[in-house]
């Protein structure tokens, strides 16, 4: 019993004292998300499990290390004041987005999104004619230009230019983070499309498509790429309104690209919502890992000094 207690205390000491509360939360969020993807029925209790797990992570420090609750509260508050509040909020947002994706996927599998999807498509059409989108004659052409911003070709070019600049200014670690984020998002998109294999809408489509429908690859990858770039630009911006501007532009591009897919009849609305959810979740996960590594390295440097 003492041996098990000592092992548990060391684990808590690693993640809560020497490491990070955010790391423990990250691991728990990842576990809940992975379980949701493997067992969609678990989504009904995933929220309770998430917050219960977070409470256990904090409470375990008191029980297993023998420290008092007031000391724990001081330690938690000190970490939050030193910047980990951003990580905790990001991880909670990650959990919400994962739950949203799993709920959407469950509804799509059961066929409960058909009415919603059809209503959204009809919102973008004249009367009951599926071949006639709303707006003037030039609008579909403009929307096709917008949707191209989320294509593999454009996103690949944006990624290449961004990586080249980061390497030129000596930001190799940030460049590696960006490459891993976008390429990992591409892999996630491909695996999910193959796994769900949802047919494309049988509406008149205004562009060619070659892959499955769920989730929307344009929505997913634009969220990953543009949100990652927006976050990186916001980190180097000096003024707060500059940071807000970069993130707002990234969000706007992501929303416009996703909406363009529905307008052109290339995706159901549920495809786009799922793409936004999992794309933003993946970008948030990568960003959280980056922030945690930076905080961890700073903590190690401070102790060494």
Largest CA-CA distance found in the chain, in angstroms, rounded = 76
pTM: 0.71
Q: What does the pLDDT look like over 31-81, one tens digit per residue? A: 666 655 555 555 555 555 555 555 555 555 444 444 444 444 444 444 444
pLDDT band at 174 (very low <50, low <70, confident <90, very high): confident
Share of the chain above pLDDT 70, in %: 64
User: How far apart, in whole angstroms, are the C-alpha atoms of residue 201 and residue 204?
Assistant: 8
Task: Count how many Cα atoms sit within 13 Å of the Cα of residue 52 in the half-sphere of its side chain.
Answer: 6
Task: Look at residue 289 in the predicted model and tell me its pLDDT.
Answer: 79
User: How far apart, in whole angstroms, are the C-alpha atoms of residue 89 and residue 26?
Assistant: 11
Task: Look at residue 99 in the predicted model and tell me its pLDDT.
Answer: 76
Asked if residue 200 lies in contact with residue 209, where contact means CB atoms within 8 angstroms, the answer is yes
Name which residue leads in pLDDT, 91 or 116: 116
Confidence check: pLDDT of 142 > 70: yes
Q: What does the pLDDT look like over 79-105, one tens digit per residue? A: 444 445 566 667 667 777 877 888 888
Q: What does the pLDDT look like over 183-241, one tens digit per residue? A: 998 998 888 888 888 888 887 666 677 777 888 888 999 999 998 888 888 777 667 78
């Amino acid at each position: 019993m003492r041996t098990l207690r000592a092992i548990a205390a060391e684990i808590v000491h690693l993640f809560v004292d020497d490491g990070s509360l955010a790391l423990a939360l990250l691991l728990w969020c990842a576990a809940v998300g992975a379980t949701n993807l493997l067992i969609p029925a678990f989504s009904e209790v995933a929220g309770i499990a998430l917050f219960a797990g977070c409470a256990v992570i904090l409470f375990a420090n008191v029980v297993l290390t023998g420290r008092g609750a007031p000391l724990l509260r001081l330690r938690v508050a000190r970490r939050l004041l030193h910047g980990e509040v951003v990580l905790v909020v990001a991880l909670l947002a990650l959990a919400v987005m994962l739950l949203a994706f799993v709920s959407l996927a469950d509804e799509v599998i059961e066929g409960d999104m058909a009415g919603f999807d059809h209503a959204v498509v009809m919102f973008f059409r004249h009367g009951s004619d599926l071949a006639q989108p709303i707006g003037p004659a030039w609008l579909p052409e403009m929307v096709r230009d917008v949707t191209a911003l989320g294509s593999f070709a454009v996103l690949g070019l944006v990624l290449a230019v961004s990586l080249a600049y980061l390497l030129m200014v000596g930001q190799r670690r940030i460049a590696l983070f960006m490459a891993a984020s976008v390429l990992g998002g591409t892999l996630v998109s491909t695996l999910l499309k193959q796994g769900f294999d949802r047919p494309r809408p049988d509406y008149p489509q205004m562009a060619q498509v070659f892959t499955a429908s769920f989730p929307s690859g344009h929505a997913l990858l634009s969220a990953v790429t543009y949100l990652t770039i927006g976050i990186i630009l916001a980190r180097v911006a000096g003024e707060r309104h500059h940071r807000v501007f970069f993130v707002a532009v990234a969000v706007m591009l992501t929303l416009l690209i996703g909406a363009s897919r529905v307008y052109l009849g290339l995706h159901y609305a549920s495809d786009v919502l799922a793409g936004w959810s999992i794309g933003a979740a993946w970008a948030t996960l990568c960003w959280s890992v980056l922030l945690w590594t930076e905080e961890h390295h700073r903590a190690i440097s401070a102790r060494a000094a």
